[in-house]
Structure 1
Amino acid sequence: MSLVTKVSETGFRYPYVIGWTGEAVEEHALRWRPHRDGERLSYAVERRTDVAFGVLRLRQGQSMMGKPDFTTVNTRRQWRCMDKLLCQVCAQSAVDPDTGRTWWLLSSSEGAAGDGFTNAPPTCRTCIPEAISQCSHLRRNAAVFTVGASWPYGVRGDVFLPYLPPVVPFQENAVVRFADTEGIRHCIARELLVRLHDVQPAVTDRETRRAA
């Protein structure tokens, strides 16, 4: 998988995690497979990389071709950033080399609760000012943190009813915790959710210069 982020003609860097119209969701037949605890949702022809943490993942291309779609994320790239603690903008490490803590850019409503779960991958310290300036929501609600640890919490995805032909999901864009082992078996994941631990407010370089 390429780590190269795409840049527009005007010099704008497209975030690594966003979806592109040329990466349309691959249409594949679904089926129910026997599982020791009941039926498990599966593609009719499975690939080794289809399942992670026991959940079926959405299949998408990785070409970054077509037009950028800021309303969606690419499942595999979002998952990779969460799993490897990579910046959602540049795909480089978001872990501070001096402290070992991970930089995370959230909305103020997400950060207010302290430790919690999120679908937003980390953002490295260098990319935080750019991410805030390019997003109208973050310009109003950005909150910057460093995080001591994170671990998989669940997924956001579509849940299907077992034992029926899996054609139309019973729930769309639902939050399913990994602790819900039955729900996980019946789901196609679109985003990985992680729980954050030891969340501390942080100050960006831009804020430091502004206060000086």
Structure 2
Amino acid sequence: MSLVTRASETGFRYPYVIGWTGEALERHVLRWRPHWEGQRLSYADERRTDYADGVLRLRQGQTMTGRPDFRTVNTRRQWRCMSRQLCQVCARSVEDPDTGRTWWLLSSREGAGDGFTNAPPTCPACIPEAISKCSYLRHNAAVFTVGSYWPYGVRGDVFLPYLPPVVPFQENAVVKLTDDDIRHCIARELLVRLHDVRPAETYGDAPWAT
């Protein structure tokens, strides 16, 4: 059974999407395999679950063991939140049942109009906690509702085709799903494009209402 969230001894909930040191897997051998559009990067021991949205993803465990690493996200949990409209903190649905819109917590810089983001949505119940626990968001938080969104690209490491895939040509690069390089990379995060982005109405004692 997969874990959804974990809490510290003080009761602080660790966000569902963050990485843990115990989830790192041993380095896997990469190879190039023939593809109708050219060479495609894959693992030597290829598995069907390695791919999502036609993209090769970084392999990671799902145990949430070791120490929490707030500098990283777990690729599959981030992907799951993006594709299933789940909160990045508690992994519950973020869709507003009355409007059908999706709640999204972004930095004020990201929220200027429609665009793409690597941050999964956040449900209203978790937004105050996320803001209070993150020093950056305390000064830059912006809460929105989103009418729709769809996969835009990935953030990942790009390798040069036809050369031994040992060292990436580009690290942490943004690659659109329509780019040729999407076949040459290992994705770390799914990026989605937001549409019909509106500032959320204030309510209750939420931090963004002050």
Bin of the TM-score, shorter chain as denominator length: over 0.9
Q: Count matched residues.
A: 209
- Paired with 2:208 and 2:104, the residues of 1 have a C-alpha distance of 20
Give the superposition deviation at 1:19.
0.2
Aligned position for 2:143: 144
Distance 1:204 1:81, change over 3 A: farther
Runs of 4+ in 1 over 6 A off after TM superposition: none
The within-5 A match list for 1:84-95 is 84-95=84-95
The match for 1:56 is 56
| Conservation of the 8 A alpha-carbon contact between 2:142 and 2:208 | no
Per the alignment, residue 83 of structure 1 pairs with 83
| Partner secondary structure for residue 194 of structure 1 | strand
The RMSD of aligned alpha carbons is 1.4
Q: Paired residue for 1:186, among 177, 184, 187?
A: 184
Structure 2 Cα separation of the partners of residues 167 and 128 of structure 1: 40
Corresponding residue of 1:21: 21
Q: Is the Cα–Cα contact under 8 Å of residues 125 and 204 in structure 1 kept in the other structure?
A: no
How many Å apart are 1:167 and its aligned residue? Answer: 0.2
Task: Give the drift of 1:3.
Answer: 4.8
Separation in structure 2 between the aligned mates of residue 66 and residue 38 of structure 1, nearest angstrom: 40
Give the AA of the match of 2:183: R
1:1-212 paired onto structure 2 within 5 Å: 2-112=2-112, 114-180=113-179, 182-202=180-200, 203-207=202-206
- Contact kept? 1:3, 1:91, Cα under 8 Å: no
Residues 209 and 64 of structure 1: is their aligned pair in 2 closer, same or farther, counting only changes over 3 Å?
Answer: closer
On the 8 A contact 2:111/2:142 being kept in 1, the answer is yes
Q: Give ranges in structure 2 of 5+ residues lacking alignment.
A: none
- Residue pair 1:26, 1:60 contacting (<8 A) in 2 also: no
- What secondary structure, in the 3-state scheme, does the structure 2 residue paired with 1:174 have? strand
CA contact (8 A) 2:128 2:207 kept: no
Moved more, 44-53 or 150-159: 44-53
